[in-house]
């Protein structure tokens, strides 16, 4: 998998991370490759923050109420709002899945439904391969 985050401001040791992020299939890669470089930089910065800060402010990571464990990584640029859905697996790793550009105040239900389906697929796949 390609490197997902770089930061020119500070360098952190791999073992100093508070949480580990993993990426399920290519959902995240497809999303990130379709973003402008400034948006990618903001996404990378936010991911580094989530990996390294013990208590992540809800401005950056927020639970979606009624979503059966799905969170949204929240990215705000000057002109745009982006969301990347994620959830914690049994190893307490944060699994990143699909992302999208938010165009309305409320997160579209079809995007939440897509995230729930991907989470379900992940859990079924892991259960099947690791009884």
Q: For residue range 56-89, list pLDDT tens digits in order.
A: 999 999 999 988 899 999 999 988 999 999 999 9
pTM of the model: 0.83
pLDDT band at 25 (very low <50, low <70, confident <90, very high): very high
- Return the pLDDT at 92: 85
pLDDT of residue 15: 64
To the nearest whole percent, how much of the chain has pLDDT over 90?
A: 67
How would you classify residue 127: left for phi > 0, otherwise alpha for psi between -120 and 50, otherwise beta?
Answer: alpha
pLDDT tens-digit map of 1-16 = 334 444 434 444 556 7
Domains within the chain, CATH numbers bracketed: 19-129 (3.30.2310.20)
What does the pLDDT average to over 23-43?
Answer: 94
Torsion angle of alpha carbons 35, 38, 43, 49, nearest 10°? 170
Cα(69)–Cα(14) distance, integer angstroms? 26
């Amino acid at each position: 998998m390609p490197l997902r985050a770089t930061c020119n401001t500070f360098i952190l040791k791999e073992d100093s991370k508070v949480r580990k992020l993993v990426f399920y299939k290519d959902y995240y890669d497809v999303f990130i490759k379709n973003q402008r470089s400034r948006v990618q930089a903001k996404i990378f910065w936010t991911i580094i923050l989530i990996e390294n800060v013990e208590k992540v402010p809800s401005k950056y990571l927020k639970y979606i109420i009624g979503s059966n464990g799905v969170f949204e990584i929240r990215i705000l640029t000057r002109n745009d709002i982006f969301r990347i859905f994620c959830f914690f697996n049994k190893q307490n790793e944060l699994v990143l899945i699909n992302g999208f550009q938010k165009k309305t105040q409320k997160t579209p239900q079809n995007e939440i439904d897509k995230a729930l389906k991907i989470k379900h697929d992940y859990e079924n796949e892991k259960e099947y391969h690791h009884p």
